[in-house]
Chain A
Amino acid sequence: MRLTFTVNGRKQEADDVWEGESLLYVLRERMGLPGSKNACEQGECGSCTVRLDGVPVCACLVAAGQAQDREVVTVEGLADFAKQRDEGGSASGTSLDEAKRWQSKPGETGTAAQRLAPIQRAFIDAGAVQCGFCTPGLLVAADELLERNASPSDEDIREALSGNLCRCTGYEKILDAVRLAAARSEEAV
């Protein structure tokens, strides 16, 4: 089947999608957006968390056809999404052609760093990233938490992130990162 939807602010199209495919598969294998991760494909790890019409969901449990005409934000679009939220504007993103040509490039650490959402910056600074496989899903979930609740308690953070498994960090530095992002945004206000 054909699928048309919006990803990170850009209209995207995919053809010959098998009806049993998940949104996660379409993003990763057809859109060139592998940032959403495939750790469990059963809704138990949160590594594929994306925003579907603004709501954090596991992309592995959304049938591709259910994304028809809807808006998806992935970790690849998180920085723009956060920026536009701050500016009160609408989102834009990577075109399908750009996405398909995507390749991680050397030496762009410096420039990329300036394009990070506050929560992304905080994850790096707090040491919340080890293997990093859980990171994209955690970032989308944590960003949405801070959107709802600018100064969450530790228990609020734990509850909001209880659907995102991490096997490397023991979560302490993930808590640190969310606290850090919250504190920085308070300072900025």
Chain B
Amino acid sequence: MGATRTPSNITQGSKAKGGIGESTLRPDGTLKVTGEFAYSSDMWHEDMLWGFTLRSPHAHAEIKSIDTSQALAQAGVYAVLTYDDLPTDVKNYGLEIQDTPVLAHGRVRHHGEPVALVAADHPETARRAAAKIKVEYVPLPVVHDEASALAEDAPLLHPGRDDHHAGHVPHPNIVHRQPIHRGDVAAARARADVIVSGEYEVGMQDQAFLGPESGLAVPGEDGGVDLYIATQWLHSDLRQIAPVLGLPPEKVRMTLSGVGGAFGGREDLSMQIHACLLALRTNKPVKIVYNRFESFFGHVHRHPAKLWYEHGATRDGKLTHMKCRIVLDGGAYASASPAVVGNASSLSVGPYVIDDVEIEAVALYTNNPPCGAMRGFGAVQACFAYEAQMDKLAAELGLDPVEFRQLNAMSQGTVMPTGQVVDSPAPVAELLRRVKAMPLPPEKQWETAGESADVRALPGGLSNTTHGEGVVRGIGYAVGIKNVGFSEGFDDYSTARVRLEVINGEPVAIVHTAMAEVGQGGVTVHAQIARTELGVTQVTIHPADTQVGSAGSTSASRQTYVTGGAVKHTCEAVREKVLELGRARFGSYHPAWATAELLLESGKVVTDGGEVLADLVDVLEGEAIDLELEWRHRPTEPFDLRTGQGNGHVQYSFAAHRAVVEVDTDLGLVKVVELACAQDVGKALNPLSVVGQIQGGTTQGLGLAVMEEIVVSPEAKVRNPSFTDYLIPTILDTPTIPVDVLELADEHAPYGLRGIGEAPTLSSTPAVVAAIRAATGLALKRVPVRPEHLTGT
């Protein structure tokens, strides 16, 4: 290869022990603050070309013809590709259902669907060429909601479906349906003193990761391709990419580049196949970088949802039953829709004990933008609705909303609607107690020593809309439950390769996994685990690539659990090898080699009594121990398609929030004053990172509560694909976020840890909305809450 800019090893020593439980600093921190960390959009290669994607302006249309001749004729253009140029019979991809065309064929099913590709010597050349591609479209009627999707004459998004859900869904425009029945709802309903029902709606949220979809594909001399990419799961990408290229997987060599956030939005492919196709066609390196406008079309979003709930309770505040129906809009392609349905249905009851339930969740195929994974998927939508119901019930019963929740809170031993027994700590009541016990923020923080108000502390902020007029404070609570890891019988394993050797007279552990570091701090934790298990200080994190086995996805709050588990497991095996070597070399010198429990600490083999037996350097004696092992958590089961019964989840994760908001009730503007969180994390491997995850997840929930929504027109067109009109919280919208971390070990998990990334995103949204309801007295059944909702306009 010529001059390139690509990822490299990161080595970190540690002054402290740097093991688990310490707030070790990120090994990539220095590279990230100096601007040297190589993100996928920073990849660079001599002679590289720029790829560009031509996208559909229609949400649903037939493609009559595509004429690329003028584009090809333009100087500086090296290739223009359409469906007809795909090299093999495999022309679709998909996470679970291969329904997504690499390039549109005969029909486009959503606004922004890729239709053609251009490679040129400058991005502007590529754009101008793309503008010269003539595509003849004939618009088709649009399916945009449940009624239009299931109407008698509804156009079918995917006629002739033969995927594994096709057989059990009631309509071909339903991707997947999961009912759950448990107990006797009719009998339980008869016992209820109060019954509360409601219809709720969640808008389409975007992951809005800051690093746009991007990467570099470099053709290899062997006919293969090297792909530098930002993704959440290298091997899942590889499984989808290689067949389309007609290459064996080993000829598609993938390396993880710096990932500028993900939050679910990089589970699906974006430009990966496109860059490879252009590179292989032109035999030149090809870089593709989406701009923000394109990024909104380049990845799936959070499923918008409509949710109908009914709950009953006895006068003394015990829940009797729950019925719900959850309709998720999956858009044009399946993406993660089946798993979203699984989560939404199985977690729809929330962290409460309700023995009698009737649940149904479905995901639709429509011509809306495809929706898939986003932090907390399925559970986020349900949590907004069931927590609204809890407040309604508490009000109906005249009970304190927190006490009412505590009265019905689940705990270890609770049976979920799926029949699964929760077999590790579930401190729901305790989390609520803790979050309620935190001191409240002072009133009227906008008041200053002088006469004028500090507008920065008021609703509207710098826009100077109030100096205190119309401002009312409200407080709200919420709690949520999220599954950790891939569920429903998925073989959710990870792989770690660990090499222990002496370099420059010092033992060094090299940890190599395919785990996508997307910012969560997995690389920090891997180094900590290696230090703890192998007693070394120097750890090198090898770039993640496909030269090592799959790590599974950086999603579902699973990586510290599963790849952390794999690193621990492999380190333990490496340690055993070290001890074997030690016994062989030094066993005859000291009886403890045979009799004592041996540990590796500070570069030495020691007994559990603390006696030093040998230096690691001497034990290894120039030899390297190098193992690559897989590790899996307890197996799960699929949910029964009729009853929803099954031990579907690995682990559950819980967080509770208290929101304090100030609402300008005249203008309908909201300032979140404080958003306190209490979460059980099992074991905080890195407390600093744990708090950072909780604060970040909390803020994304805040965004959904008060501002974030992709607005889709009735014609299924995206109306706000930019950061000018898709708003995410700024630092002036984000309050202080005090965090109370509880550590109750889960005995089934490595170090007792609990996956943490998603739970705080769940309860944040309903807590903020509950606080707005408390301030305004309005019902507020939809998020994001808009000024129009608060002012009746």
Contact = CB atoms under 8 A, between A and B. Distances in A.
Whether A associates with B in a native complex is: yes
Interface of A: 18, 20-21, 28-29, 32-42, 44-45, 47, 74-76, 78-79, 100-107, 109-110, 112-113, 115-116, 120-121, 123-125, 127, 129-136, 139, 155, 157-159, 161-175
B25 A125 contact: yes
Contacts of A76: 34-36
Of A20, A112, A157, A174, chain B has the most CB atoms within 10 Å of the CB of: A112
Interface in B283-330: 289, 291-292
A33 B692 contact: no
B9 A107 contact: yes
Given A45-B723, A129-B26, A165-B728, A123 B33 contact: yes
Interface string B459-503: 000100000000000000000000000000000000000000000
B692 A127 contact: yes
Interface in B1-43: 3-13, 23, 25-39, 41-42
Interface in B619-633: none
Contact of B722 (A42, A105, A133): A42
A41 B28 contact: no
B211 interface: yes
B653 interface: no
B263 interface: yes
Given A41-B292, A103-B5, A127-B689, A172 B736 contact: yes
Contacts of B262: 131
A130 B211 CA distance: 12
B11 A109 contact: yes
A133 B39 contact: yes
B198 interface: no
B9 A106 contact: yes
B370 interface: no
Q: Interface SS of chain A: helix, strand, loop or mixed?
A: loop
A45 B39 CA distance: 17
A173 B739 CA distance: 12
Contact of B732 (A38, A44, A104, A159): A159
Given A45-B723, A158-B456, A174-B731, A131 B9 contact: no
Contacts of B129: none
B647 interface: no
24 contacts: A37-B41, A38-B289, A39-B210, A41-B291, A100-B3, A103-B8, A104-B5, A113-B30, A123-B33, A124-B25, A129-B26, A130-B261, A130-B521, A132-B37, A132-B260, A133-B261, A136-B35, A139-B33, A162-B730, A162-B731, A165-B210, A167-B261, A167-B728, A172-B691
A40 B540 CA distance: 33
B518 A38 contact: no
Contacts of A29: 44
Contacts of B39: 34, 37, 133
B614 to A, nearest CB: 27
Contacts of B259: 131
Contacts of A133: 39, 209-211, 258, 260-261
Give the 5 A-B CB pairs with smallest separation, nearest first: A35-B35, A131-B519, A133-B260, A132-B32, A170-B695
Given A131-B210, A136-B33, 8 more contacts: A21-B124, A34-B42, A35-B34, A37-B41, A39-B292, A162-B732, A167-B263, A172-B736
Contact of B3 (A35, A101, A159, A174): A101
A102 B36 CA distance: 9
Interface stretch (B108-116, B351-359, B696-704): B696-704
A28 B732 CA distance: 29
Contact of B210 (A100, A134, A155, A158): A134
A173 B38 CA distance: 23
